[in-house]
Amino acid sequence: MNKLLADRFEGQLGKGSMIRKMFEIGLALKEKNGEDSVCDFSIGNPDVPPPAEVKKAMHDLADKADQPFAFGYMAAAGYPWLLKQMAEFYSKEQGIKVEPGEIFIATGAAGSLSSVFRATLNPGDEVLGLKPYFGEYDAFMRNTETAYVGIPLKADFTLDMPAIEKAINKKTRIFLINSPHNPTGKIFNRGELEELVKVLRKKSDEFGRPILLLADEPYRALVYGDEEVPSVLPMYEWSVVVGSFAKNISLPGERVGYVICCPNMPDKAGFMQGIAQATRIMGYVNAPAVGQQLLKTLLDKKVDLNIYARRREAMAKALKDAGYEFVMPGGAFYFFPKAPIADDIKFVEEVLAKYGVLGVAGTAFGMPGYFRLSFCVSEEVIKRSAPGFKKAMEDAKKMK
Ligand SMILES: Cc1ncc(COP(=O)(O)O)c(C=O)c1O
């Protein structure tokens, strides 16, 4: 008599709570030892302010707010004028001519992924991807009664091609790649992606149906140094890119993202209709009108990358000085160092947190033995965390 929730939510409510738990540990520590006692690297909520043009665009928008339909419904795929602008912009970015009809403006990268999954997956299908991975993928899979299977990256966080090839089976419908990668910050290079495409072609032939290559790119603009983020669209006709404006211009709450279908995809019209249908049945209707209108002058803008770059250097120094093993992230705003004891949860929650330094155990990303640090905090906080990292390492050495 007291149960209202659907069966599929049984046992799921506690999932994804590891980041939340760190947040609560942080609150308790702050209350006990004061605001400045905590260096919180647990959450990836971009704190670098949006580019100055956002404020100007907001003012311009406010001036038109008294017009009829200023924020009315629009076509499901988004404002036609914005789709046109995006087609021009993404043709350059992705290195292939994209038409407005091959783009769908959706509610963030998360909404974009959900629409692609909803449109292409049958219950029982499998989405193959990487491990570690963005934990929300599991939640999206539950929506479609499918499974996410992550293939571990190699120790240097490059793709393990033999393992990927071995894992593809007749249930594999999508290969999901995310670059720059959450949680490692890794950018997968052209050679790796070409190799991946080769394997996908071979396996698609073997199983008699195409395997979609889905590139999740919300961190595309956050790249340090001159590393290229190769596009999969010119490489493989069965490919789709999703992205958003959450990180590149710090608008995560505004929930605007996009799906770009490979212009060479056979039956691309059917795919795009499927995305529209999926978006409608999930009740999203269309992406937020305000966010879309802001983008008019913002497509080619990005946050001040120098801020993130300085933090990346500061974090690398703090970790290196304390003796942690890590791969320098090429993009995004995360480090994924090795935990100095095997039990990553214990290390993060009991050892590191004791010194007011908060991260998230690798287990939350399907990869025990590591931990994630997000540098969405000021350089000053990163520098302040250095002694904590050192003491935690000293403690860990005694625990071995
Ligand atoms: C890998 C990855 N994909 C998708 C998303 C969702 O992005 P959005 O806020 O644009 O929905 C995130 C957000 O953190 C992410 O890390």
pLDDT digits (tens, 9 = 90+) for 31-55: 888 888 899 999 889 999 999 999 9
Please report which confidence band the pLDDT of residue 11 belongs to, taking 50, 70 and 90 as the band edges.
Answer: low
| Structural domain spans, the chain | 7-50+304-399, 74-297
Per CATH, is 7-50+304-399 categorized as 3.40.190.10?
no
CA of 109 to the centre of ligand 1 (A): 5
Residue 131: strand pairing partners: 152
pLDDT digits (tens, 9 = 90+) for 172-181: 999 999 999 9
Sheet hosting strand 371-374, strand order edge to edge? 334-335, 371-374, 360-361
Q: Is 252 in the pocket of ligand 1 (CB under 6 A)?
A: yes
pLDDT of 16 higher than 80: no
Q: Is 218 in the pocket of ligand 1 (CB under 6 A)?
A: yes
pLDDT of 1 higher than 70: no
CA of 220 to the centre of ligand 1 (A): 11
Atom of ligand 1 nearest to the CA of 252: 9
pLDDT of 284 higher than 60: yes
Is 97 buried (19+), middle (13-18) or exposed (0-12) by CB count in 10 A? middle
pLDDT of residue 139: 87
Answer whether 7-50+304-399 and 74-297 agree in fold.
no
Q: Is 132 in the pocket of ligand 1 (CB under 6 A)?
A: no
Q: Is 246 in the pocket of ligand 1 (CB under 6 A)?
A: yes
Q: Is 109 in the pocket of ligand 1 (CB under 6 A)?
A: yes
**152 membership: H or E segment, kind and range:** strand 147-152
Pocket-testing residue among 107, 113, 136, 178, ligand 1, by greatest number of atoms within 8 A of Cβ? 136
CA of 83 to the centre of ligand 1 (A): 21
CA of 205 to the centre of ligand 1 (A): 31
Pocket-testing residue among 244, 250, 255, 258, ligand 1, by greatest number of atoms within 8 A of Cβ? 244
Please report which confidence band the pLDDT of residue 13 belongs to, taking 50, 70 and 90 as the band edges.
Answer: low
pLDDT of residue 27: 82
The predicted model scores a pTM of: 0.96
Q: Is 217 in the pocket of ligand 1 (CB under 6 A)?
A: no
CA of 39 to the centre of ligand 1 (A): 23
pLDDT of residue 17: 67
Q: Is 210 in the pocket of ligand 1 (CB under 6 A)?
A: no
Q: Is 134 in the pocket of ligand 1 (CB under 6 A)?
A: yes
CA distance to 191, 200, 201, 209, per residue, from 195 (Å): 6, 9, 10, 19
Architecture field, domain 74-297? 3-Layer(aba) Sandwich (3.40)
Mean pLDDT score of the chain? 95
pLDDT digits (tens, 9 = 90+) for 253-280: 999 999 999 999 999 999 999 999 999 9
Least confident piece of the model among 26-40, 54-68, 186-200: 26-40
Please report which confidence band the pLDDT of residue 142 belongs to, taking 50, 70 and 90 as the band edges.
Answer: confident
Mean pLDDT of 70-78: 95
Q: How far, in whole angstroms, is CA 299 from its chain's centroid?
A: 19
pLDDT of 14 higher than 70: no
Mean pLDDT of 62-76: 95
* Cα gap 278→191, rounded to integer Å: 34
pLDDT of residue 33: 85
pLDDT of residue 32: 86
pLDDT of 217 higher than 80: yes
Q: How far, in whole angstroms, is CA 10 from its chain's centroid?
A: 26
Residue with tokens 């396996």: 203
Mean pLDDT of 220-226: 96
Mean pLDDT of 53-81: 96
H helical segments located in the chain: 17-33, 52-63, 80-94, 108-120, 136-143, 161-167, 190-207, 268-281, 289-294, 305-322, 344-346, 379-399
Percent residues over pLDDT 70 in the chain: 98
